[in-house]
């Protein structure tokens, strides 16, 4: 276990270093220049040159990269040129927003996976229709589901809000997760309002992964139920639900969990679009505006956070996998 | 077993919440808080930079800055022709050589921290802008001295004559008066977070309230304001990341207003809504076509001029910009120069395009660039590409994100052949337009075109303020074929019906800026 943790940490550092190097190289090779956006369009050529020098953007790429790494080791992520605020301050505001959205999306994806797996297991014409609908939903990109959700549940029915995280203003709670903050503060109205706000974006991000996991789970359960040990269990008098719970689900969960890691990675990517559609003040929204403004410090920091998160999630999935399935060893 | 039960309970709980949220009517009506009573809720498309009075030089943060800070002079809002008006100055004079300016200051004004406004504030406010040294610092960089005869009479002397100085003071980006007390407590410190990022020390009708960067920015009415009380007790600028959601929120009543940003088709849709009032204000923003001097196809002056003459720019503006702009035959923004001095040297020739297609531009591909943030520039680029392709000249319209756009135009012969850019002068002075757009030192001479003699003419005109000299500039730059002003953009705004004062609140200089204090709730 210790060896596993060390290996994963070392590989994470290497991966994140390469990621940073790529970001710096690609952004500079592309000729992106954040200074005009930083100063304002009408800034004189002299003002632009002075700002470029002051910000160190006139330095060779390797010098800029070295300065960034030096700052990073001291916890300084630099200044966000698109907002003029420290990147660390921006991240502190936005990480909880993305975390809340991602957590709800994962919860919904797991619930949907179980429900959809049941639907996949059904037989008959109705089941075929359900499978077709689910397959179509899984094929739809998150932005399409998000847009359809906004048009139907906000614009037409007025059931759910279409933007932001709450109607009551930002939470001053300790976690930055608004639903949880509302509950911890004993303010159910705030928690409920925050839940309504997170519902549509989280569902838009969750449906695709939910269906994908459901299909793997359903196939696994179906295969397990036809296996020799399931037949043996039946002959020993175990009920079908016990066989599903004790044997089939456990065996089928291994590939489903592996897929969950991949799907969460893809879900993080889709959150960039989902946050944009729902004006959700998270990392995705910040990343979109930072890329447009060539705000390299912001792009690098967000990539570090998302890359680190992706590695962490996959590591956790590996650990859970080893716990659920004793045949799996952590390496 | 316990884990299984917990999972089941959590799953059931979440499912119940899910179903309840989807089937039950939302407690808040599903809308993130329509304005109540004295709060005006305005939509911002995209986050803003920190609203510091000495760095804000672009974008919507100016609506926040200018609500909390005031300068000595301003322009009368809601008037197309720019007219200087006193804000914190009540009287002013300029010497014949445009070097010495005197001001009588308004009495009875207090900063938001309670400090009385007197002549002391001028020097320290100018000093801060110069010390920060960013985009708008040139407005005060030429000040040689600020001498106060007493608390309310001041003489400002410039190092060099500048006929635009009063206009620079009146600019929406112009120097603001900041409490000397706050300036002492919060000096300029490079590289650290600035107190002025989220606090204000101005004299304006509103003070900065709670700021949640990326989410919302709040203004609160200042009870000690020297002028008429603002229309709303509070103003909230809520950040949205896409215009479609703003459109839905406007139609649903979730926000009260949107200033700027709409493209032609969106504006047309919003205009048709029964519950909304749409406004289109005159401005000095002028979408302009820039031609690359090093373009392999258009570097030849005769070909370039022929190309300019081949385009029916009025038709192009009508088609591309519809109700969001009016075509122009001027070179400078129309309110900056008398019409007889502000004329294009190259006129439209309906036969020129066909001749170019068969002749000098046969086999060429014209690349037209635009920055994706500007709907007017994109519409013009796309439509010009369509016109050229229709005439048999291959053309492509290419969008760049803001970070890449300016750099792409500096690539000489490899840069796009043409770009459209919708720019505005900093203030209502011909110099503010000509220097920025027609000289390489200006910053928005996008391809670095340099017409001999133009920079000298602008320098002379800056000293004297002689319109005839600017008329010469107009002739030379339009003859060169490097620039072609296409239209005058209208500043767009959409508000809920019943909200009043919007039509009296626009800036004659730039779009996207309103005097927020003049906006009033429905009766």
Rounded mean pLDDT of B290-305?
97
Which candidate, B451, B456, B125, places its Cα nearest to that of B304?
B451
pLDDT tens per residue across span A210-245: 888 888 888 888 888 888 888 888 888 888 778 877
Reading chain A (331 residues) residue by residue, the pLDDT tens digits are: 677 778 778 887 888 888 888 887 877 666 677 888 888 888 888 889 998 898 888 888 888 888 888 988 888 898 998 888 999 999 999 999 999 999 999 999 999 888 888 777 777 777 788 778 877 877 888 888 899 999 999 988 989 999 999 988 888 888 999 999 999 999 999 999 999 999 999 999 999 888 888 888 888 888 888 888 888 888 888 887 788 777 777 777 778 887 887 888 888 888 989 999 999 999 999 999 898 888 889 998 998 888 888 888 878 877 777 777 666 666 5
A284 touches chain B (CB under 8 A): no
The residue of chain A with its CA nearest to that of B197 is A85
- Inter-residue contact A307 to B270 (CB < 8 Å): no
For position A130, what pLDDT does the model report? Answer: 78
Q: Does the structure show a pLDDT above 50 at B119?
A: yes
Asked if B338 and B481 sit in the same domain, the reply is yes
Domain boundary among B124, B148, B180: B180
Tally of structural domains, chain B: 3
Which candidate, A315, A42, A48, A279, places its Cα nearest to that of A166?
A279
For position B30, what pLDDT does the model report? Answer: 32
CB atoms B213 and A90 under 8 Å: yes
Question: Between B15, B30, B216, which is nearest A159 by CB?
Answer: B30
Most B CBs within 10 Å: which of A23, A26, A40, A97, as the mutation test of the B interface?
A40
More confident residue, A26 or B510: B510
More confident residue, B370 or B264: B370
CB count in 10 Å sphere of residue B521: 18
* Residue B69 to residue B169: CA distance in whole angstroms: 13
**Is residue B190 in some structural domain?**
no
For position B280, what pLDDT does the model report? Answer: 92
* Residue B364 to residue B355: CA distance in whole angstroms: 13
pTM for the full predicted model: 0.86
More confident residue, A319 or B490: B490
A291 touches chain B (CB under 8 A): yes
For position B7, what pLDDT does the model report? Answer: 39
- Inter-residue contact B399 to B378 (CB < 8 Å): yes
* Residue B164 to residue A117: CA distance in whole angstroms: 73
CA distance B108 to chain A (A): 34
More confident residue, B339 or A232: B339
Question: What CATH number is given to the structural domain containing B23?
Answer: 3.40.190.10
Rounded mean pLDDT of B488-508?
94
Instruction: List beta partners, residue B147.
Output: B155
Q: Does the structure show a pLDDT above 80 at B19?
A: no
Asked if B233 and B147 sit in the same domain, the reply is no
* Residues 6+ positions from B294 with CB-CB distance below 8 Å: B412, B413, B415, B447
Most A CBs within 10 Å: which of B4, B14, B25, B26, as the mutation test of the A interface?
B26
CB atoms B32 and A293 under 8 Å: no
* Residues 6+ positions from B183 with CB-CB distance below 8 Å: B124, B125, B128, B201
A276 touches chain B (CB under 8 A): yes
Q: Which of A297-301, B153-157, B208-212, B371-375 has the lowest mean pLDDT?
A: B371-375
CA distance B444 to chain A (A): 6
**Is residue B257 in some structural domain?**
yes
CA distance A4 to chain B (A): 26
- Orientation of helix A87-121 relative to helix A249-277, angle to 10°: 130
Asked if B114 and B209 sit in the same domain, the reply is no
**Is residue B229 in some structural domain?**
yes
pLDDT tens per residue across span B78-100: 999 999 999 999 999 999 999 99
For position A198, what pLDDT does the model report? Answer: 96
pLDDT confidence of B21, banded at 50, 70, 90?
Answer: very low
Asked if B168 and B214 sit in the same domain, the reply is no
pLDDT tens per residue across span B345-366: 999 999 999 999 999 999 999 9
Q: Does the structure show a pLDDT above 60 at B438?
A: yes
Q: Does the structure show a pLDDT above 90 at B148?
A: yes
Instruction: List beta partners, residue B220.
Output: B207, B234
CB count in 10 Å sphere of residue A236: 8
- Inter-residue contact B415 to B434 (CB < 8 Å): no
CB atoms B401 and A294 under 8 Å: yes
CA distance B9 to chain A (A): 12
Question: Between B33, B403, B426, which is nearest A167 by CB?
Answer: B33
For position B269, what pLDDT does the model report? Answer: 86
CB count in 10 Å sphere of residue B478: 23
* Residues 6+ positions from A80 with CB-CB distance below 8 Å: A86, A87, A90, A290, A295, A297, A298
The strand ranges marked E within B69-200 are 73-75, 84-86, 89-94, 100-105, 143-150, 153-158
**Is residue B188 in some structural domain?**
no
* Residue B135 to residue B421: CA distance in whole angstroms: 19
pLDDT confidence of B301, banded at 50, 70, 90?
Answer: very high
Asked if B53 and B144 sit in the same domain, the reply is no
Question: Between B48, B59, B248, which is nearest A154 by CB?
Answer: B248
Residues of A in contact with B210 (CB under 8 A): 169
For position B233, what pLDDT does the model report? Answer: 95
**Is residue B39 in some structural domain?**
yes
Indicate the length of chain B as a whole number. 523
* Residues 6+ positions from A161 with CB-CB distance below 8 Å: A154, A167, A196, A197, A200, B26, B28, B30, B31, B32
Asked if B457 and B385 sit in the same domain, the reply is yes
**Is residue B433 in some structural domain?**
yes
For position A328, what pLDDT does the model report? Answer: 63
Query: Which residue range forms the structural domain that includes residue B130?
Result: 71-180
Cα Rg of chain B (Å, integer): 25
Asked if B304 and B379 sit in the same domain, the reply is yes
Dihedral sign computed on CA atoms, order A113, A117, A120, A124: negative
Asked if B503 and B483 sit in the same domain, the reply is no
pLDDT tens per residue across span A80-134: 988 889 999 999 999 999 999 999 999 999 998 888 887 777 777 777 887 788 7
More confident residue, B499 or B31: B499
Alpha helices, DSSP H only, in B151-242?
Answer: 165-170, 180-185
The residue of chain A with its CA nearest to that of B410 is A31
* Residues 6+ positions from A135 with CB-CB distance below 8 Å: A211
Q: Does the structure show a pLDDT above 60 at B12?
A: no
More confident residue, A36 or B478: B478
Asked if B218 and B127 sit in the same domain, the reply is no
More confident residue, B268 or B505: B505
Please state the domain extents for chain A: 94-281
Q: What are phi and psi of A212, to 5 degrees?
A: -60, -45
**Is residue B194 in some structural domain?**
no
Asked if B310 and B423 sit in the same domain, the reply is yes
Chain A segment 215-274 residues within 8 A of B by beta carbon are: none
Q: What DSSP designation does B180 have?
A: H
**Is residue B196 in some structural domain?**
no
- ipTM at complex level: 0.81
More confident residue, A313 or B62: B62
Name the fold adopted by A94-281: MetI-like fold (1.10.3720)
For position A64, what pLDDT does the model report? Answer: 86
Inter-chain Cβ pairs, chain A and chain B, closer than 8 A? 216
Taking the alpha carbons at both ends of chain B, their separation in whole angstroms is 64
Asked if B258 and B344 sit in the same domain, the reply is no
Q: What are phi and psi of B41, to 5 degrees?
A: -105, 115
Nearest-5° Cα angle at B462, B460 to B468: 65
Chain A segment 42-61 residues within 8 A of B by beta carbon are: 42-48, 50-51, 54
For position B260, what pLDDT does the model report? Answer: 82
DSSP state string for A128-194: HHHHHHHHHHHHS-HHHHHHHHIIIIIIIS--S--SSS-SS----SSSS-HHHHHHHTT-HHHHHHH
Question: What CATH number is given to the structural domain containing B364?
Answer: 3.10.105.10
* Residues 6+ positions from A103 with CB-CB distance below 8 Å: A177
């Amino acid at each position: 276990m210790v060896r596993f943790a060390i290996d994963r940490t070392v590989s994470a550092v290497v991966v994140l270093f390469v990621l940073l190097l790529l970001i710096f190289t690609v952004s500079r090779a592309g000729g992106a220049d954040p200074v005009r956006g930083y100063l304002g369009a009408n800034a004189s050529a002299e003002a632009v040159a002075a700002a470029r020098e002051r910000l160190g953007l006139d330095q060779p790429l390797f010098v800029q990269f070295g300065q960034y790494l030096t700052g990073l080791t001291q916890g300084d992520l630099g200044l966000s040129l698109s907002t003029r605020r420290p990147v660390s301050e921006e991240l502190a505001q936005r990480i909880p927003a993305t975390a809340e959205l991602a957590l709800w999306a994962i919860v919904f994806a797991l619930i949907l996976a179980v429900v959809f797996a049941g639907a996949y297991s059904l037989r008959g014409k109705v089941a075929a229709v359900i499978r077709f609908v689910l397959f179509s939903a899984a094929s739809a990109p998150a932005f399409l589901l998000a847009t359809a959700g906004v048009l139907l549940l906000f614009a037409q029915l007025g059931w759910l809000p279409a933007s932001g995280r709450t109607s009551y203003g930002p939470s001053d709670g300790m976690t930055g997760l608004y639903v949880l903050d509302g509950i911890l503060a004993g303010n159910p109205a705030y928690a409920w309002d925050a839940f309504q706000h997170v519902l549509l974006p989280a569902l838009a991000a969750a449906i695709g992964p939910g269906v994908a996991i459901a299909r793997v789970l359903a196939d696994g359960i179906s295969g397990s139920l036809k296996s020799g040990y399931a037949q043996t269990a039946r002959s020993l008098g175990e009920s079908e639900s016990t066989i599903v719970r004790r044997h089939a689900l456990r065996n089928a969960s291994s590939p489903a969990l592996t897929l969950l890691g991949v799907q969460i990675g893809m879900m993080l990517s889709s959150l960039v679009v989902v946050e944009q559609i729902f004006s959700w003040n998270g990392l995705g929204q910040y990343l979109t505006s930072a890329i447009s403004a060539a705000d390299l410090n912001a792009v690098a920091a967000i990539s570090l956070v998302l890359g680190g998160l992706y590695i962490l999630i996959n590591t956790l999935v590996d650990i859970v996998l080893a716990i659920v399935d004793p045949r799996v060893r952590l390496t | 077993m316990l884990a299984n039960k917990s999972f089941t309970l959590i799953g059931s709980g979440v499912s119940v919440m899910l179903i309840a949220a989807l089937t039950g009517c939302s407690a808040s009506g599903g809308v993130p808080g329509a304005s109540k009573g004295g709060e005006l809720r305005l939509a911002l498309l995209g986050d803003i930079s920190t609203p510091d009075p000495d760095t804000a030089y672009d974008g919507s943060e100016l609506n926040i800055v200018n609500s909390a800070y005031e300068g000595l002079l301003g322009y009368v809002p809601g008037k197309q022709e720019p007219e200087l008006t006193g804000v914190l100055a009540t009287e002013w004079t300029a010497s014949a050589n445009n070097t010495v300016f005197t001001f009588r200051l308004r009495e009875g004004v207090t900063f938001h921290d309670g400090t009385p406004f007197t002549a002391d504030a001028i020097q320290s406010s100018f000093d801060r802008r110069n010390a920060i040294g960013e985009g708008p610092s040139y407005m005060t960089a030429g000040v040689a001295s600020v001498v106060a005869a007493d608390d309310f009479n001041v003489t400002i002397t410039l190092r060099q004559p500048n006929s635009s100085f009063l206009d620079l003071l009146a600019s929406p980006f112009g120097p603001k008066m900041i409490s000397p007390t706050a300036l002492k407590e919060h000096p300029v410190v490079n590289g650290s977070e600035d107190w002025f990022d989220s606090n204000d020390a101005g004299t304006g009708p509103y003070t900065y309230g709670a700021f949640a960067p990326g989410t919302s920015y709040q203004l609160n009415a200042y009870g000690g304001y020297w002028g008429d009380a603002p229309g709303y007790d509070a103003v909230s600028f809520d950040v949205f990341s896409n215009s479609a959601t703003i459109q839905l929120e406007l139609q649903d009543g979730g926000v009260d207003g949107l200033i700027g940003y709409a493209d032609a088709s969106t504006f047309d849709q919003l205009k048709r809504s029964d519950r909304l009032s749409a406004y289109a204000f005159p401005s000095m923003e002028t979408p302009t076509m820039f031609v690359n001097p090093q373009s392999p196809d258009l570097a030849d002056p005769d070909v370039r001029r022929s190309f300019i003459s081949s385009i029916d720019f009025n038709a192009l503006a009508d088609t591309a910009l519809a109700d969001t702009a009016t075509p122009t035959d001027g070179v400078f923004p129309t309110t900056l120069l008398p019409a007889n001095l502000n004329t294009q040297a190259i006129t439209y020739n309906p036969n020129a395009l066909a001749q170019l297609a068969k002749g000098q531009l046969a086999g060429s591909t014209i690349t037209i660039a635009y920055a994706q943030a500007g709907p007017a520039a994109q519409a013009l680029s796309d439509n010009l590409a369509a016109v050229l392709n229709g005439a048999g000249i291959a053309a492509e319209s290419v969008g760049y994100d803001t970070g890449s756009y300016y750099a792409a135009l500096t690539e000489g012969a490899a840069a796009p052949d043409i770009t459209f850019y919708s720019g505005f002068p900093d203030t209502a002075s011909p110099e503010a337009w000509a220097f920025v757009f027609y000289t390489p030192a200006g910053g928005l001479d996008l391809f670095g075109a340099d017409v001999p003699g133009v920079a000298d003419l602008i320098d002379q005109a800056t000293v004297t303020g002689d319109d005839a000299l600017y008329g010469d500039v107009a002739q030379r730059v339009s003859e060169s074929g490097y620039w072609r002003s296409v239209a005058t953009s209208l500043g767009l705004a959409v508000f809920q019906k019943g909200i009043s004062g919007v039509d009296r609140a626009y800036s004659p200089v730039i779009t996207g800026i309103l005097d927020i204090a003049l906006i009033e709730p429905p009766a």
